[in-house]
């Protein structure tokens, strides 16, 4: 692996993970959630991730595996790795209780209204468990961002932007309950910050495990799995959350805009 690409990939993964801090800032400085903005932004993120997964990442994975295993073997391996990625992220989500799931919709004003003595211990527990859930959930996302950037830096940048947008509500989900439970902005931000670090941690561990054996087969399997992970995240988490945050059509407008932006950016790098 080119060390320059490795450093860029790690940097991009760090940016994506720490975007939870943007969500923290929104929670601290606003009393009302801008639901329309979040709906469009999450739809946009889903559009980017679905389009790039199905049009670019899946195809690159197939090309790599076909070159190593032949047309039939490579095609089957690509499809198998794609669905393995879906099953992996679905299994991770299955272990996260719905009450602490970072993708369950929460609004600043809803948490603010619950800020009383009876609810503070519950809010603190919610924030802490949500941070843990995000840390577990973001681990494969970090590997996805890192793998994409290693192979194609421009693709890695696009995926970083998409994941960074989708991490904003996660930052809100961690920092809001902790802040309203303790009144301590620093503590809330610190917990949100630490939960985001699992994303670059996933990249570092992936690099340490794979850099010695990185070849066409490893790359193809990883890329196909990454495509599956991102498609699942989009249809299971981003789009439902986007529709709940705003008017249903807004999330679809964001979805189409994300696909168009991704399509044009891929064409510009041909």
pLDDT tens by residue, 207-255? 787 777 777 888 888 889 888 988 988 888 778 877 776 667 888 898 9
* Residue 16 pLDDT grade (very low, low, confident, very high; cuts 50, 70, 90): confident
170 annotated as a binding-site residue: yes
- Min mean pLDDT across 21-30, 40-49, 186-195 is at 21-30
pTM of the predicted structure, to 2 decimals: 0.70
Q: Write the CB contacts of 55 (distance below 8 Å, at least 6 apart in sequence).
A: 262, 263, 266
167 annotated as a binding-site residue: yes
- The domain ranges of the chain are 3-28+41-265
244 annotated as a binding-site residue: no
User: What is the gyration radius of the CA atoms in the chain, in angstroms?
Assistant: 19
pLDDT of residue 115: 47
pLDDT of residue 7: 84
What value does the mean pLDDT take over residues 189-216? Answer: 79
118 annotated as a binding-site residue: no
With beta carbons less than 8 A apart as the criterion, state whether 13 and 149 touch: yes
Q: Could you read off the pLDDT of 57-107 as tens digits, one per residue? A: 899 899 999 999 999 999 999 999 999 999 988 887 777 655 445 445 455
Dihedral sign of CA atoms 25, 31, 36, 42 in order: positive
Residue 213, Cβ neighbours under 10 Å: how many?
A: 8
* Residue 126 pLDDT grade (very low, low, confident, very high; cuts 50, 70, 90): low
141 annotated as a binding-site residue: yes
User: What are the distances in angstroms from CA 187 to CA 2, 84, 111, 180?
Assistant: 38, 37, 17, 11
Helix/strand/coil (H, E, C) string of 167-222? HHHHHHHHHHHHHHHHCCHHHHHHHHHHHHCHHHHHHHHHHHHHCCCCCHHHHHHH
138 annotated as a binding-site residue: yes
In this structure, what DSSP letter does residue 100 have? G
pLDDT of residue 84: 95
* Residue 36 pLDDT grade (very low, low, confident, very high; cuts 50, 70, 90): confident
State the residue for tokens 């891929």: 266
């Amino acid at each position: 692996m080119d060390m320059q690409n490795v450093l860029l990939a790690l940097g991009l993964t760090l940016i994506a993970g720490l975007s939870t801090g943007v969500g923290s800032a929104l929670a601290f400085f606003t009393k009302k959630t801008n639901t329309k903005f979040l709906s469009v932004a999450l739809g946009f993120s889903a559009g980017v991730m679905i389009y790039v997964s199905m049009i670019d990442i899946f195809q690159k994975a197939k090309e790599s595996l076909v070159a190593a295993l032949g047309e039939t073997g490579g095609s089957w391996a690509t499809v198998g790795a794609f669905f393995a990625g879906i099953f992996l992220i679905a299994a991770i989500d299955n272990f996260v209780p719905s009450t602490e799931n970072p993708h369950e919709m929460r609004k600043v004003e809803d948490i603010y209204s619950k800020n009383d003595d009876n609810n503070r211990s519950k809010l603190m527990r919610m924030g802490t468990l949500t941070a843990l859930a995000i840390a577990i959930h973001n681990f494969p996302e970090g590997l996805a961002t890192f793998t994409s950037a290693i192979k194609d830096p421009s693709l890695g940048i696009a995926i970083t932007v998409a994941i960074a947008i989708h991490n904003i509500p996660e930052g809100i989900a961690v920092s809001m309950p902790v802040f309203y439970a303790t009144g301590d902005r620093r503590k809330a931000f610190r917990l949100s910050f630490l939960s985001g670090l699992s994303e670059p941690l996933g990249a570092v561990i992936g690099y340490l495990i794979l850099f010695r054996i990185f070849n066409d087969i490893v790359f193809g399997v990883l890329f196909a799995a990454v495509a599956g992970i991102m498609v699942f995240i989009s249809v299971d988490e981003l789009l439902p959350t986007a529709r709940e945050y705003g008017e249903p059509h807004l999330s679809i407008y964001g979805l189409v805009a994300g696909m168009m932006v991704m399509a044009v950016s891929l064409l510009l790098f041909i």
